[in-house]
Amino acid sequence: MSEPSGAAATAPAGGLTHRQILTIFAGLMIGMFLAALDQTIVATAIRTIADDLDGLSLQAWATTGYLITATISTPLYGKLSDLYGRKPLFLLAISIFVIGSVACGFAGSMYQLAGARALQGLGAGGLFSLALTIIGDIVSPRERAKYQGFFVAVFGTSSVLGPVLGGLFAGQDDILGVTGWRWVFLVNVPLGILALAVVTKVLNVPHTRREHRIDWPGAVALTVGLVPLLIIAEQGRDWGWDSPRAIGCYALGAVGLVAFIWAERRIGDDALLPLRFFRNGVFSWGSLAALVAGTGMFGVVALLPLYLQIVKGASPTEAGLQTLPLVLGIMSMSVFSGQLISRTGRYKVWPILGLSLMIVGAVALSFVGVDTPYWQVVIVMVVLGWGLGANMQPITLAVQNAMPPQDMGVATASSTFFRQLGGTLGTAVFLSVLFSSLGGHVADNFRDAAATPEFRAAVADPAVAANPANAPILAGLQGGGTPSLEDSSFLAAADPVLARPILEGFADAMSTVFLTAGAVLVLGLFAVSMMKELPLRTLSGVEAAKADEAAPPAPASAPTP
């Protein structure tokens, strides 16, 4: 423990001290923090950005472009890092992310911003998966779990800090002569430079170069297959799920996925995602669990800030702070479960417990309404946080433990890919469910409210009519329908009696989404229940790879679990 942190550069893999491992962690966590912070800080400021760039109707493309490139590039980083080493690919991911951030900061239109966000996503795709892969290289599965709290701390900090900074930057006209919202992206530049410096100095993991073909046909086919499906997931509510454009996306996506499977079968072990992986039961069930858990997890988490902002009237900054119980639940359970996994070597119970708690939390959220006290919401957020904390890392740990060391990068990236793909689809689909059912709920509530004397008195009150915030509601009622909800900012200042049917409509629509998320998570619970629990290896990825190289060839391959 007395060696300087720089000793990690020369110490053999597996001979790293706790201090040296933490030094490497510092570089990895800064890289992960870049991507984690970007997801939360942009969401808070995107409306201000779109207004300033005169592209409110185009704002979804800035998110879509980022998600598409981040999702598609994730498995490619895993494969390339197995071939050429983790460090150069991790440095490349950070560099691309920083360059994309600069481009975002100087975008002059929403089209330019969407393109810059796509470039930024190309870097983000490697930040999460490569960091988790590198941990698999330097720490054995048995010991890895107790370090996972550091990674969860990154997500927790970004979840709280992101909305606060996003609201702060977006609320400033200019900072140091630059428009305030542009610092949402430019703040990544000093963080990225720091990450590059730290990673360059401390990250030295031995790598044995292997000459294999790069699966470019598979990468192209996967892109053709997933891009249309991700686009329709994001845009389907506006286009119509059965519109000609939607049908075209379905058809093109199906062709791309069929071509991807054909390409992977043809190239064999050099594939971007080798099909032999799916003969491993832990990988197959773990990938399904990651996909489903990501779908439900991101769907629920994306709606909580909407509930706090729209139904409870919190500002974006306040909503970010009010989700702190969720973050504390994630961090506490992640550290607790990680310590017990390290001590006992048993990990399967944790994703089972985690998904069960997430189901309970999602169902409990379906009963949350306009008048629900915040303290009750806090209890539900803690339960959800415990579920997420018990579920986030053990599935990745199980997949890494079950796969050969030489496939560590591809296996980890694949698990991350399925979780991220689930998150992208879940967020888009659940938001579509929300807004698709919202109009009907609001219309029903207005019909019920119109029969009450309080509502009729409010409509007839001249003082109410004089308030500009009530104009959208009164205009909708005079037109025989409901007010437009494309911009909900008027609700905060609207008359409480007039706004009540809309707030209850949002709460009712969110209840539908939370129940749907709970049902989806049941499938994830089934998947982790089917996943076989294997003894955790006591060797790190690098140590296991060296042991495999030194061992004599086996007479016959053992059946995969």
Q: What is the pLDDT of residues 504-555, one digit of tens each?
A: 888 888 888 888 888 889 998 999 999 888 887 766 555 555 555 555 554 5
Tell me: do 460 and 495 sit in the same domain: yes
Tell me: do 105 and 161 sit in the same domain: yes
Contacts of 355 (CB under 8 A, 6+ apart): 289, 293, 387, 391, 521, 524, 525, 528
302-313 burial string, b = 16+ CB within 10 Å, else e?
bbbbbbbbbbbe
As a whole-number percent, the residues of the chain with pLDDT over 90 amount to 11
Tell me: do 36 and 157 sit in the same domain: yes
E strand or H helix at 384, and its extent?
A: helix 374-402
Per residue in 396-413, pLDDT tens? 888 888 887 777 777 777
Tell me: do 97 and 155 sit in the same domain: yes
Tell me: do 173 and 132 sit in the same domain: yes
Q: Cα separations (Å) of 345 from 287, 321, 331? A: 21, 36, 20
What's the rounded Cα separation, in Å, for the pair 72 and 423?
13
What is the phi-psi region of residue 14: left when phi exceeds 0, alpha when psi lies from -120 to 50, beta otherwise? Answer: left
Q: What's the domain range around 473?
A: 441-507
Work out how many domains the chain is built from and give that number: 3
* pLDDT at residue 208 is higher than 70: no
* pLDDT at residue 48 is higher than 80: no
Tell me: do 90 and 13 sit in the same domain: yes
* pLDDT at residue 362 is higher than 70: yes
Residue scoring higher pLDDT (4 or 325): 325
Tell me: do 207 and 89 sit in the same domain: yes
Tell me: do 196 and 224 sit in the same domain: no
What's the rounded Cα separation, in Å, for the pair 211 and 57?
47
What's the rounded Cα separation, in Å, for the pair 294 and 421?
8
Q: Cα separations (Å) of 394 from 284, 311, 336, 424, 530? A: 15, 35, 12, 21, 15
What's the rounded Cα separation, in Å, for the pair 329 and 320?
15
Q: Cα separations (Å) of 57 from 228, 239, 497? A: 20, 13, 30
The whole-number pLDDT of residue 364 equals: 93
Length of the chain: 561
The whole-number pLDDT of residue 487 equals: 60
Strand partners, 179: 174
Judge whether 231 lies within some domain.
yes
**Residue 178 DSSP SS3:** strand
Confidence of residue 180 (pLDDT cuts 50, 70, 90): confident
Please, are residues 286 and 341 in contact by the beta-carbon 8 Å criterion?
no
Q: Cα separations (Å) of 373 from 233, 308, 376? A: 34, 11, 6
Domain boundary among 164, 189, 212: 212
**Helix ranges, 307-323 (H):** 316-322
What's the rounded Cα separation, in Å, for the pair 391 and 376?
23
**Residue 150 DSSP SS3:** helix
Q: Cα separations (Å) of 368 from 308, 316, 427, 504? A: 11, 20, 20, 10
Tell me: do 109 and 233 sit in the same domain: no
Burial tier of 7 (Cβ tally within 10 Å: 0-12, 13-18, 19+): middle
The whole-number pLDDT of residue 493 equals: 74
Tell me: do 120 and 198 sit in the same domain: yes
